[in-house]
Chains A and B, each alone.
Chain A
Amino acid sequence: MKVFANLARLVRTTAFKLLAAYLLVFAVFAVSVIAYTAWHTRQLIQVQVADDLEREIRFLSDQYRIGGIQRLVYVIDRRTRRPGSSIYMLANFQGEVIATNVSDLPLGLLDQPGTRFTTYNRPEESGSKSHVAFVEVDILPGGYRLLVGRDIEERDTLRALVTRPAQWAVLLIVGLGVAGGVFVTRRVLKRIDAMTATSETIMAGDLSGRLALAGTGDEFDRLAHSLNAMLERIETLMQGLKDVSDNIAHDLKTPLTRLRNRAEEALRTADGEAQWRRALEDTIEESDGLIRTFDALLMIARAEAGQARASMSDVDLAAIAENVSELYEPLADEKGLDLEVAAAPVVVHGVRELLAQALSNLVDNAIKYAAPQEGERRRIAVSLERDGSEAVLRVADQGPGIPTSEHGRVVERFVRLEASRTRPGSGLGLSLVAAVAHLHGGSLAFSDNDPGLVATLRLPAKPA
């Protein structure tokens, strides 16, 4: 049963069907060629036989003219003794046979001049086995009927000689074709089965599984390659999702616990309206912080999932750089920072709102962490320039900077370097910037400003 099932599966494959169709076309073609050859051979022999008969009749007629009936009989008699000869029959006008080497010719055959097929028996053979011959009848002067014929079994043998091997060849090719088809299909099936099996284990939850490559660079390898790329992406997304839930567990539960503790404490100890009010105000403030964190998380997740791609359009990045700088300039000024902007005209394909938020997060960070001591002044430089096919947006401050070893880590979700734990913020600002950069096909990197930090956002720019 299993063999049948396997065979049925084999037959259902595309490769096998293609092969079968190809074989069928080939077989029809080959059979036609053979049939044509056979027919043509037969025709050729026929013509040759007819010519031979014609020549022989003419020769015999000449003999009759030269030497009369005796000479004709003599010649026929001599000819019939040759092995593998033609068949002869000579009769007078009454139909009495004068000379022959055959028996049992159909009645009336001798009365019709011309060529035709007929059956005959050989006198040396007993029994009823009749043979087929192609004969020509001529009526000689004096009413003699002369029949000369050739056995055509020879011709059929010859035809068989030509066609039989060809038939075998076709049969062999079809047979080999089917065998080859089964072989090829099974090889193909084996790879597809392997891919299917791998995908099934992946679907069952092992997202780290990858399809094996044969290394031949064929279409299966290409397919496996792009499927692997897809799996990579899915795994990243799933990992991201897991990180988000882990982080939600940690960074949302902590403030929630704080919220709950405060409410409990207020219930237990608050006395008088002022204290109640104070507790409630704290509660609202804490929940606003929670909402902000939650929004940032959602936004990052959405940006990373690429959902915002549909709402992308051509965005004037220089206008954003100037607007956002203008938005933050008074705040920076108040904190002792000179916010300067130098923006070259660059257009990118993106989401205006997200790009503006990304830049505002960078500027906000710079203001938060690079503010000088009372009485001093520092600079924050926002710059936008085109570097080949990229828009390079930089926010450079003169603050304490970040240790080089931490440059990569700061974009991870919720990472806030120990030194800054006490300042406000969800800790998601840079993660969001990184997610926005990723969404736009760009990158976020940090470097030293000596002193200070340079945040560099690179985005693919539209051609100038």
Chain B
Amino acid sequence: MIANLDLGSSNPMRLLLVEDDRDAAEYLRKAFKEAGHVADLAGDGEEGLALALDGKYDVMIVDRMLPQRDGLSLVSELRGRGHTTPVLILSALGQVDDRVQGLRAGGDDYLPKPYAFTELLARVEALSRRGAPQAAETVYKVADLELDRLSHSVTRGGKEIVLQPREFRLLEYLMRHAGQVVTRTMLLENVWDYHFDPQTNVIDVHVSRLRSKIDKGFEVPLIHTVRGAGYMVRAGVK
């Protein structure tokens, strides 16, 4: 049920973690290391800015409330200087307008505290541009499953699969992040554009419907449940 941290990423990332709570930062650094990534730490906004300007990072994780320079100002400063490194903002403020502020300042994702590490990891990996198909690609392929974004058609092993519009978007999002864990809240946010907690596992039912269309009758399942984290589309068990 709960975190099985062995999510083993084949694409190690370099992360910058700007967080003033040392314990939390150390915990995250360790957890990222276990997942195969390297995280540099910065304890305040100014240090974070200096490191961000210096180094090449795949994703930055920025706490919203920081000494010296707060997270939002750090992000907008970076964006003002033309840096496009994806930024995930962490915050104790989790309301709708707080999220909007964070994204408006230039953040790419927003995660309210407290969060599950698996959620953070999945989101950071989704933000990373490594190994993910380019947004411009019109056809996503995983094993014998093909999704054509232009003609809105899905085939598996050459056989057409008919999907409802929402199922199509669900599969599209999962396939864009093929090989990465996609959490339930990520699906709710990106497929339905809602950011609240639906209390019940509504997403699970949608995924299992989708799964019955995609995987039923095929020997190799493509949509996998990652225990305690979410879902993943990938070709086969490694």
Interface residues of A (CB under 8 A from B): 280-281, 284-285, 287-288, 291-292, 295, 298-299, 302, 307-308, 310-311, 323, 326-328, 330-331, 333-334, 351, 353-354, 356-357, 360-361, 364, 367-368, 424-426, 429
A308 pairs with B97, CB closer than 8 A: yes
Which positions 177-219 of chain B face chain A at CB distance < 8 Å? 192, 194-202, 205-206, 209
A-B residue pairs in contact (CB < 8 Å), sample of 15: A292-B199, A295-B94, A298-B95, A308-B96, A308-B97, A311-B97, A330-B202, A330-B205, A351-B96, A353-B96, A356-B196, A357-B196, A360-B198, A364-B198, A425-B199
B166 close to chain A: CB less than 8 A: yes
A292 CA to B166 CA, complexed, in Å: 27
Contacting residues, chain A, for B196 (C-beta < 8 A)? 353, 356-357, 360
Residues 109-122 of chain B, each 1 if its beta carbon lies under 8 Å from chain A, else 0: 00000101000000
Instruction: Kindly report which residue of chain B lies nearest to residue A291, judged by CB atoms.
Output: B114
A280 pairs with B200, CB closer than 8 A: no
B192 pairs with A327, CB closer than 8 A: yes
B100 close to chain A: CB less than 8 A: yes
Q: Which 7 A-B pairs have the closest CB atoms?
A: A330-B205, A357-B196, A281-B2, A353-B96, A311-B97, A331-B205, A331-B202
A384 CA to B198 CA, complexed, in Å: 21
Say what secondary structure dominates the interface of chain A.
helix
Report if A367-B95 is in contact (Cβ < 8 Å); known contacts: A334-B205, A353-B194. no
Q: From residue A371, how far is it (CB to closest CB) to chain B in Å?
A: 11
Q: From residue B47, how far is it (CB to closest CB) to chain A in Å?
A: 30
Contacting residues, chain B, for A429 (C-beta < 8 A)? 199
Contacting residues, chain B, for A356 (C-beta < 8 A)? 194, 196
B1 close to chain A: CB less than 8 A: yes
Instruction: Kindly report which residue of chain A lies nearest to residue B165, judged by CB atoms.
Output: A326
A287 CA to B116 CA, complexed, in Å: 11
Contacting residues, chain B, for A330 (C-beta < 8 A)? 202, 205-206, 209
Report if A299-B95 is in contact (Cβ < 8 Å); known contacts: A330-B202, A330-B209, A360-B198. yes
Contacting residues, chain B, for A361 (C-beta < 8 A)? 199
A291 CA to B113 CA, complexed, in Å: 9
Contacting residues, chain B, for A328 (C-beta < 8 A)? 202
A326 pairs with B199, CB closer than 8 A: no
A327 pairs with B202, CB closer than 8 A: yes
Contacting residues, chain A, for B3 (C-beta < 8 A)? 284
B192 pairs with A323, CB closer than 8 A: yes
A280 CA to B1 CA, complexed, in Å: 11
A326 CA to B97 CA, complexed, in Å: 25
A116 CA to B198 CA, complexed, in Å: 110
B2 pairs with A308, CB closer than 8 A: no
Which positions 142-183 of chain B face chain A at CB distance < 8 Å? 166
Instruction: Kindly report which residue of chain B lies nearest to residue A330, judged by CB atoms.
Output: B205
Contacting residues, chain A, for B192 (C-beta < 8 A)? 323, 327
A308 pairs with B206, CB closer than 8 A: no
A286 CA to B97 CA, complexed, in Å: 28
Q: From residue B71, how far is it (CB to closest CB) to chain A in Å?
A: 20
A368 pairs with B200, CB closer than 8 A: yes
A310 CA to B100 CA, complexed, in Å: 12
Instruction: Kindly report which residue of chain A lies nearest to residue B95, judged by CB atoms.
Output: A302
B200 pairs with A308, CB closer than 8 A: no
Q: Which of B96, B199, B206 contacts A364 (CB 8 A)?
A: B199
Contacting residues, chain A, for B95 (C-beta < 8 A)? 298-299, 302, 307-308
